[in-house]
Chain A
Amino acid sequence: MSLEEFKDRNIGTQNYRMLDLGESPKSGMEKFKQVVERSVKLELFTGLKVTFREMYKALFKKNMHTVKYPFEKMPIAPRYRAIHQMKRLLESGHYRCIGCGLCEKICIANCIRIDTRYDENQRKEVSEYTINFGRCIFCGYCAEVCPELAIVHGGRYETSSEQRASFSTLEDMLTPLEQLAEQSEFPGFGAISPNADENVKKTPLAY
C-alpha cells in the first residue's frame, strides 16, 4: 500500500462496492425457495473459490500481505505522535526551548518536568527537562502549546522498555549536533500551517 492510499480516509472515493443483498424473504414459501435456490446454485462454493484464488496468488505469484516487521517497516503517517523530539535552532545549534514551562503546565498526564535557572549571562537556561514515558499518553498537547516549535513528536514508535518508568532527558531528545543539517520540521500536530506567512500580523502596539 502506498503512502497516498494509506492516508486516504475519504470513504466514497475508494474502491468500495455496495453488496447487492436483494430482499429478504417474507413468507414460508419464499424462504423455502431461497434455501433451495442457494443450495442448488452452490453459492457457498464461491467462498471456497475466493480463498483458493488467494492461496494461488500467495503461493505462485508471491503476492503476500505480510510485512516482515522487524526487518521491514510500514511507513507511518506524518502526523503520527510517537516519542518526542527537541529541535535546535538551525543557525546557532542552540536548543529552541526557552524554558517557558507551558508544556509542563498543559501536560494532562503530568509527565513533563522542567526546571530553569539563570546562566552566567543572566539568560534563562533549561537546567533539567525530563519526560516520563511511562506516564505519557502521547496526546500532543505539549507540541501544540509550544510557542517555539521546540518540542515536537517524532516517528520512533518502538518504545518497549524493561522498566515501567523510562525517562528521557533533554539531551536524549535533542537533535544531535552533527545531524543538524538534516533536521526537518514536524508537519504534524502543533506545527505551523503552510500558509503561516500570510497570517503574520504586526503586533498591535497602538494602545
Chain B
Amino acid sequence: MDGYIIGTIIKAILVLAIISALAGFGTYIERKVLAFMQRRYGPMHVGPYGLLQIAADGIKLFTKEDFIPSGANRLIFMFAPIITAATAFIALAAVPLLPEFKLFGMTVRAIVADLNIGILFILGMMAAGLYGPLLAGMAQRNKWGLIGAARTAVQFLSYEVVTGLSMLAPIMIVGSLSLIDFNNYQSGGMGEWLIWKQPLAFILFLIAGFAETNRTPFDLLEHEAEIVAGYATEYSGMRWGMFFIGEYANMITIGFIAAIVFLGGFNSWGFLPGGLAIVLKVSLFFFLMLWVRASWPHVRPDQMMWLCWKVLMPLAVINVTLTGLWMMV
C-alpha cells in the first residue's frame, strides 16, 4: 500500500514535470511550424535554432510584474488561472501515457490513477477547466474579458454535447469507459482501429476537441483580432503563463484521447514499439492543431453555435442510433 502511494506520487510529479516542459516546448514548436507555413524562420537567434527561446520566455514570464487591476475581484482573479492549469493536469492523471514497462525489476504502469471510468473523468475535468477562463473573464472588470467569459459559456454549452455524444458510440462498441480497455480492444493491429468502425465519431470528436482546447477554428475566447485577448486581457506574468500551460496540456490530453480511442493507442504498430507509436500519434494530432491554425480562419460565435447544434449534434445522435442498431443486429 505504501509502495503504491509513493509510486503514485512519483508518477504524478513526473507527469507534471514532463508535461509542463512539453507544454513549453509546444510553444516553440508552434511558433516554428507557423513560421515555416508562412515561409518565415521563427525564433532563431536565442540558442541553436532558437531552442533557448523557451528559457527566455520562461524568464520573462516569471520576472514580469504580476498585475491585478484595481476594479477586479482580487480573490477570484488570482484563483482563476490555477483552475485551468490544475484541471488540465488532473485530467492527465487518468490518461495511460505509455504501455507498461519494466524498471528496476518492477512493472510500471504509465498511468497515475487507473479509474474504470477514465474517459468520463477526463472529459469532466477538461470541462471543469473552462471555469478558469470564465471566472477570469468575469473577475477582471474589463469589457473584453467579459465578452471572453460570455463566449466561454456559449462555447462550452455548444461543444460539450457533441463531445459526449461522439464519444458515446465508441464507448458502446467497446463496452467500457476505461481507456486501457479501449487500448486492449484495438490490440489486433491497424485493421482493428476504431477509426475504421467509427469514422464519423472520430471527425466529430476532433472538431469538438478543437473547441475544447480553444484552438483556432474555435478560438473565440481570446481571439486577438476581435476582443484583444478575451479572458486573458488583464493577465500578465505567471498567471497568464498558467493559462498557457493549461491550454497546451489540454492539447496533449486531447491528442492522447484521440490516439487511444480511435488510433489504436499504445499497441505496437508494425515494427514500431507501442511507446513510440503513441508518441508519434500524439505528435501528429499536435501538428494537426498547428497546421489548422496556420490554414483556417476562425468562426464567429453564432457560426460555432450553428455548427454544434444544427450540424454536429444531429450527426452525433444519428451516429449513436446507427451504432446501436448495428450492435443489435
Contact = CB atoms under 8 A, between A and B. Distances in A.
A and B touch in the complex (CB under 8 A): yes
A48 B295 contact: yes
B291 A48 contact: yes
B302 to A, nearest CB: 15
A79 interface: no
A66 interface: yes
From A35, A44, A57, A66, name the one whose CB has the most chain B CB atoms within 10 angstroms. A66
A35 B295 contact: no
Contacts of B38: 54, 65
A58 B36 CA distance: 6
Interface residues of B, number: 13
Contacts of B295: 47-48, 50-51
A89 interface: no
A68 B41 CA distance: 9
A59 B294 CA distance: 16
Of B33, B36, B40, B296, which is in contact with the most chain A CB atoms at under 10 Å from its CB? Answer: B36
B40 A55 contact: no
B36 A55 contact: yes
A59 B41 CA distance: 9
B292 interface: yes
B296 A47 contact: yes
A48 B217 CA distance: 13
Size category of the binding interface on chain A: 10 to 19
Nearest to A59: B36
A42 to B, nearest CB: 11
Contacts of A58: 36-37, 39-40
A18 interface: no
Contact of A35 (B37, B40, B41, B311): B311
A59 B40 CA distance: 10
Contact of A44 (B33, B37, B39, B296): B296
Nearest to A65: B39
Interface in A38-72: 44, 47-48, 50-52, 54-55, 57-59, 63-66, 68
Interface in A61-97: 63-66, 68
Given A58-B39, A63-B39, A65-B38, A51 B311 contact: no
A54 B291 contact: no
A193 B40 CA distance: 41
Given A35-B311, A58-B40, 14 more contacts: A48-B292, A48-B295, A50-B295, A51-B37, A51-B295, A52-B37, A54-B36, A54-B38, A55-B33, A57-B39, A64-B39, A65-B40, A66-B40, A66-B41
